[in-house]
Amino acid sequence: MKNLKDAKTERVKWLHCIKNELFNLMKSEKPDSPALQWCVEMLQDLEFDAQEAMGFKKDSDLHSWWHMSPHCTCCSEINEKHFGKFGKIINKGCPLHGHMI
């Protein structure tokens, strides 16, 4: 059982490392770069993987990395305050998420 727990912990650490590298890639892109939409999709997949690795149900309303993304103009403070309560607060002018509303 300890090996399984250690493997889950290592998987979550690995996913965080990938997220950090993805953020570095996003920082190197311009806000209007088409590559950023691929990064947004990849980030969502990483968060689903992290939820699964930690034994949580997969639920995009319980994602927290998206509004920390480079170039995101959605309000992190409001999204953190209301995390898990009623979905995401998206800025319609956000170059990453504005198309979602």
- The predicted pLDDT at position 8 comes to 85
Cβ–Cβ under 8 Å, residues 92 and 75: no
pLDDT tens digits, 10-56: 999 999 999 999 999 999 999 999 999 999 999 999 999 999 998 89
What's the pTM?
0.84
Q: What span, in angstroms and rounded, lies between the C-alpha atoms of 72 and 21?
A: 16
Residue 69 pLDDT level (bands cut at 50, 70, 90): very high
Cβ–Cβ under 8 Å, residues 20 and 42: no
Inform me whether the pLDDT recorded for 4 exceeds 70. no
